[in-house]
């Protein structure tokens, strides 16, 4: 199992637009990824409903987990989370990442 932590940079946390961009990017990888708040149960990171239900605020650290061998996917997702996805020039998530 591979894990990474990230600090959510979006001003509103993982809600609405940032959650949509993030979950679209996860789904585009084709790799199963989970997301969890500190001490919380992990959820499917490709599900906007599950991700939004976590209620992750700006500045909170989250943990992403996937199978071994998909470390590059996690690195790309961490970079995305650590970007203010509310900014006008934020990525749309349409291109997504790719599994290694």
Domain ranges of the chain: 2-81
Residues with Cβ within 8 Å of 39's Cβ and at least 6 positions away in sequence, in order, are none
Rounded Cα distance between 79 and 83, Å, is 6
- What top-level class would CATH report for the domain 2-81? alpha beta
pTM: 0.86
Which one from 15, 56, 80, 83 is the annotated catalytic residue?
A: 15
Residues of the chain with pLDDT under 70: 88-100
pLDDT of residue 69: 86
> Can 58 be counted among the known catalytic residues?
no
Residues with Cβ within 8 Å of 20's Cβ and at least 6 positions away in sequence, in order, are 48, 93
Rounded Cα distance between 71 and 51, Å, is 20
């Amino acid at each position: 199992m591979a894990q990474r932590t990230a600090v959510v940079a979006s001003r509103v946390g993982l809600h609405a637009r940032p959650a949509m961009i993030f979950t679209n990017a996860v789904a585009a990888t084709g790799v199963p990824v989970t997301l969890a708040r500190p001490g919380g149960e992990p959820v499917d990171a490709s599900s906007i409903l599950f991700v939004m239900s976590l209620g992750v605020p700006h500045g909170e650290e989250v943990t992403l987990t996937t199978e071994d061998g998909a470390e590059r996917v996690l690195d790309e997702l961490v970079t995305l989370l650590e970007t203010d996805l509310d900014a006008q020039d934020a990525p749309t998530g349409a291109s997504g990442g790719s599994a290694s």
